[in-house]
A and B are shown apart, each in its own frame.
Chain A
Amino acid sequence: MLAGGLAVGGMTEVVCPVGGGLLLATLARSTLGRGGLLALIDGSDAFDPAGIPRAALRRFLWVRCRTVSQAVQAGDLVLRDGNLGLVILDLRSCRPEEVRKIPSTSWYRLQRVVEPTLTAFVVLTAQPLVSAARPRLRLEGHLELGSFDCRQTDLLDQLHIELMRGQEACIRQFA
């Protein structure tokens, strides 16, 4: 799905009004396949571990936040750590006005923190909110009740990614 991969040492925003959970599950599986480690900064404590293969959960650090500001602080700590290959900040369920209250300097700081590392940093949002993100992608598609009969890998084919902003060529790939 992410044919160009994710930028290592960069901040990627994925706007996913639909299919964010599928993307998360795919990234978790991909991380397991690479023998890497993944951190999910869960901005609204909404992640359901039952939706991810148990084997993938062993390489999964789940950080359960209560507020957006907590999520940004936790993201800062995890990115500075530099031990994890993929860090996902999930703000899909956070209220957009709360996310907009985060000063742009905080996003730029996170961008600077991740730059010298070998970490791919992904921010999942329901609508475009992160000013410092390069590139910004949009996940689109249609899911219905019949989707429950399909395998997750097949469901990914029903979604497509659109590049909204930023360079298409991500020099170092993660996935």
Chain B
Amino acid sequence: MFGVILLPDFALQAALRHQPVHLRREPVAVLHEDTAITPTIFQCNDAAMAAGVQVGMTSSQGLARCGALRLITRSPTQETAATEALLESAFSCSPWVEITGEGVCTFELRGDRPVQEAFGDRVVAHLARLDLRARIGIAANPDLALLAAHAARSCLQVTDTHAFLDDLPVAALDPAPALLGILQRWGIETLGALSALPSQEVTRRLGTEGRELWERAAGRRTRLLRLAPPPETYEERMDFEYEIQTLEPLLFVLRRFIEQLTLRLEAIYRVPETLTLTLCFDDGQEYRRVFHIPAPTGNVETLFRVLHTHLENFTAPSSIKSLHLAVTPTRAPHEQFGLFETALRDPNRFGETLARLHALLGPDRAGVPCCEDTHRPDAFRVEAPDFLHLESVVAVEEPRCGEPPVFGLPLHRLRPPLPAEVMVEKQVPVGIESSMASGPVRAARGPYQLAGNWWEKGCSWACEEWDVELVQGGLYRLCRQRDGWFLEGSYN
């Protein structure tokens, strides 16, 4: 058995599927791009047809019939995305799939099991969730299935080939105009009448073209499918008719994209792991950002919030002319938490909080601190937290941490260090003067000489540190560098 999924008015559907519902109900027509001088209407929706617009009219003729007619050009990028969605739906039915034409996919159903009635309805319903109106035909050969798809209201399975074909007009096979004219002059109007003619006589009079038409009319022609590879990219793209200057329309389209992409992934039992957002600006610049989903999920709200949080604080250099969103699929994570572990309860919410913190403070100002492998004072970096992949920790006291016990007091740093006047006697600080702490020194420890990177030209550093206790109380760290003394922080 073969099945055909047909998307009627494919170019129109592809162009309108990301538009708001009320815009889709307005009269819309797609213009043929190839007609450079006088563009003609290629496809139009029911509202336009009800207003008297017909396929083949010029744009001015269409506008004369319907003043509210919205004329749009074909969008190859959106047609590609719609084709991918169609292909994925076909691959959910069978691994043997052919892209037969624009908005038409043929697939082969092998095996002895009969095709269930609900099978086609499920595929139609899935495509409807992707905002694609589909018809499905199921029959014994690809050509018959295509005819069934054209004749179907939603899904049609041909069980009696002759009963189905007999009443169909010859024009349904889309023969050459000359051949159709000959048959009409013979009085052959239906496929039943054509298949009733002797095949050898038809071949003798009309040649191989006639023979082929006769075989199709009799439902006997079969062919091998030109198999298509399964889609490997999951992306949606939109070239805006008008340049976008505010966030709201962008978010509207992005939400639609996420809904569509998660539905497509749902069909193959996957969820998005990363989102790649690309914005193309009017001045030719491009902005690309990859968002890693902490706990991959198919939840539209969660995925949308990731993009929303980022875009809230994003300033575009100029108006946006096109938008592209791609997702990388992965398996949905399944994790069994430990009974005594306090891991992140909602990793995606934490990721969003982190994005908000980065927006508030800057990208390097929220994260996990990591000490650099150097003795240079205040050498650290801030890394992105990875609280999802922490090793299990049993209740530990300090000696069991695997690290030596920590001595002394933690330093409360001044960033940048505060310049200070330091009185020195016999190379030992005896008094300090600064805007934070001043007074005579009761006791001092040092000097702690530190130096490094002297082997790298222009990167060497050196300093001398002292820990001091003031007479009036307070412990401080002093640092002598090439350009003078500094107060590095306090131990209070």
A15-33: CB near B (< 8 Å → 1, else 0) gives 0011111101100010011
A92 touches B412 (CB 8 A): yes
Contact B366 A64 (CB under 8 A): yes
Q: Which residues of B contact A147 (CB under 8 A)?
A: 408-409, 475, 491
Whether the Cβ atoms of A24 and B410 lie closer than 8 Å is yes
Nearest chain A CB to B252 CB, angstrom units: 26
Is A61 within 8 A of B342, CB to CB? no
How far apart sit A20 and B344, CA to CA, in the bound complex (Å)? 27
In the complex, A80 has a CB within 8 A of chain B: yes
Instruction: Identify which of A34-42, A100-108, A127-135 touches chain B.
Output: A34-42
Contact A52 to B410, CB < 8 A, known contacts A20-B492, A62-B382, A81-B353: yes
Q: Mark B348-377, 1 if CB is under 8 A from A, else 0.
A: 011001001100110001111111000000
B368 touches A33 (CB 8 A): no
Q: Which residues does chain A contribute within 8 Å of B111, judged by CB atoms?
A: none
Contacts of B361 in A (CB 8 A): 63-66, 70, 74
Given A34-B395, A35-B392, A153-B405, A62 and B415 touching (CB < 8 A)? no
B295 vs chain A, min Cβ distance (A): 12
In the assembled complex, how far is the CB of residue B298 from the closest CB belonging to chain A, in whole angstroms?
21
Whether B387 pairs with A37 at a CB distance below 8 angstroms is: yes
The answer to the question of B335 belonging to the interface, with a C-beta cut-off of 8 Å to chain A, is no
- Mask of A45-72 contacts with B, CB within 8 angstroms, 1/0: 1111111111111111111111000100
Pair A70/B467 contact, Cβ less than 8 Å: no
B489 within 8 A of partner (CB): yes
Q: How far is the CB of B404 from chain A (nearest CB, A)?
A: 9
Nearest neighbor of A61 in chain B, beta-carbon distance: B385
**In contact, B396 and A46 (Cβ under 8 angstroms):** no
| A50 touching B371 in the complex, CB below 8 Å, given contacts A25-B410, A64-B365, A145-B475 | yes
* Cross-chain contact B368 with A57 (CB below 8 angstroms): yes
A2 at the interface (CB under 8 A from B): no
Q: Is A63 a contact partner of B365 (Cβ separation < 8 A)?
A: yes
A51 CB contacts on chain B under 8 angstroms: 406, 409-411
B340 at the interface (CB under 8 A from A): yes
CB neighbours (8 Å) of A173 from chain B are none
Q: Measured between C-beta atoms, what is the minimum distance from B378 to chain A in Å?
A: 7
Chain A residues, Cβ within 8 Å of B467: 145, 148
Encode contact with A along B387-414: 1 for CB under 8 Å, 0 otherwise: 1001011111110011101111111111
Known contacts A21-B491, A50-B371, A64-B366; A152 and B382 CB within 8 A of each other: no
Does B341 count as interface, using CB distance less than 8 angstroms?
yes
The reply to whether B475 and A144 form a contact with Cβ atoms under 8 Å apart is yes
Q: Least Cβ distance of A55 to chain B in Å?
A: 5
Report yes or no: B366 in contact with A61, Cβ–Cβ below 8 A: yes
A49 touches B371 (CB 8 A): yes
CA distance A82 to B410 in the complex (A): 28
0/1 interface trace, chain B 51-89, chain A, CB 8 Å (1 if under): 000000000000000000000000000000000000000
| A19 contact set on B, CB distance < 8 A | 492
Q: A22-B410, A35-B341, A143-B409 are in contact. Are A63 and B357 (CB under 8 A)?
A: yes
A51→B340 CA distance, assembly (Å):
27
Is B345 engaged at the interface, CB distance under 8 Å to the other chain?
yes
**Hey, which bits of chain A sit against chain B, CB under 8 A?**
17-22, 24-25, 29, 32-37, 45-66, 70, 73-74, 77-78, 80-83, 85, 92-93, 143-145, 147-153, 155
Kindly list the 4 A-B residue pairs having the minimum CB-CB distance in the complex, ordered from nearest.
A51-B410, A21-B410, A49-B369, A81-B353
12 CB-based A-B contacts, threshold 8 Å: A21-B491, A32-B393, A34-B393, A48-B378, A53-B398, A55-B401, A57-B371, A63-B366, A74-B360, A78-B357, A143-B492, A152-B410
